[in-house]
Amino acid sequence: MSVFRNILVYAEAADADCLAEVVTFAEQSGAALSVCDVIAHAPTLDSGGAVSRLKALDWSLAFERLRGLCAPHQGRVPLDYAVLTGNPFLAVTEQVTRQGFDLVVHISETAADGPGAALNPTGMHLVRKCPAAVWTLHPDRAEHSESLLLAVDREVTAQADAAERFARDLAATACDLAAARGATLHLVHAWQPYGETLLDHPRAGLTPAEVDSYLAAQENDHRGWFERLTRDVSCREPAVSLECHLERGAPVDVIPALARKTRTSLVVLGTVGTSALPGVLIGTTAEAILAAAETPVLAIKPRGFTTPIQFADPVEKLRAVSEGGTAP
């Protein structure tokens, strides 16, 4: 079983526990790992040679940090490491674009507790614009039970077929992840009745009985869709322990609350920009959930998603792919 085969780890924080978690996942998935750090571009003006010496020192320290971080895992999985230069988000995104990585793991600097703890600005940029799936981790993540939460939403526009395919792709990925980790998968769909705030408006002209009938019909419709999706998930990976949650309410409220309640270790969701396919947790809903996330997140793009960023010149990649690498 293999969900992701080519994983790029941006070790913004050199956290041994986070990397060990990723290496274990790579072992289970049969994936190769590349671990990188990103240092700033050096200025072109180098009066007296100080800039050259500082650049070499910056590179050497970053390389030593990566070498020490990766050393315990050499031989467990195919593993190399490299130092990139430039803006971290752009450098990582370019490597994904040019080398075909299918998953980026962002081990971020220590995050604050509370809402937004799962992503810093670099992580949010990667989730929005990097073409690969993005898994965010940080050293101070809370210890949780071994469970995953998959958030799915339902698209009811003319693009519903594309959204349905994306929802099933998400479910397949989450199933494979849960199977690899021996985890319980919590499948959640938060729904809200169309026009809910208008139901008691005098100009709507709805009687209490009509409102009750309308709400019941809406709930039954969402329940039928969710049960069909649940059956698909169960058939795909019958060995996975599956718990289903159909919740009435705004996804931005329901999903973080359920993640806390179930003490989930990872929230899996789909995220697409307004210029891409409409679909699962589209646009501002996904943004709000990510901004409120307190738990590590795996954000997955739909098939065919491309980054809006255009790269002219290749990012500088300093030669730190093995212990034999030398400073430039």
Q: What does the pLDDT average to over 246-270?
A: 90
Whether the Cβ atoms of residue 111 and residue 127 lie closer than 8 Å to each other: no
Q: pLDDT value at position 283?
A: 58
The pTM for the full model equals 0.84
When mean pLDDT is compared across 39-48, 69-78, 241-250, the lowest value belongs to 39-48
Q: Which strands form 133-137's sheet, in the order they lie side by side? A: 242-248, 184-191, 147-151, 266-270, 297-300, 133-137, 103-107, 6-11, 32-39, 79-85, 317-318
Percent of the chain exceeding pLDDT 70 equals: 84
The pLDDT tens digits of the residues spanning 3-46 come to: 789 999 999 999 999 999 899 889 888 899 999 999 999 888 87
Q: If pLDDT is split at 50, 70 and 90, which confidence band does 321 have?
A: very low
Pseudo-torsion of CA 130, 131, 133, 138, nearest 10°? -10
Write down the CATH number for the domain with range 1-141+306-328.
3.40.50.620
Confidence check: pLDDT of 214 > 80? yes
Write down the CATH number for the domain with range 142-295.
3.40.50.620
Distance (Å) of CA 35 to CA 100, 195, 314: 15, 48, 18
Please give the DSSP secondary-structure letter assigned to residue 250.
-
Q: pLDDT value at position 57?
A: 95
Residues spanned by CATH 3.40.50.620 within the chain? 1-141+306-328, 142-295
Local structure of 149: helix, strand or coil: strand
Confidence check: pLDDT of 313 > 80? no
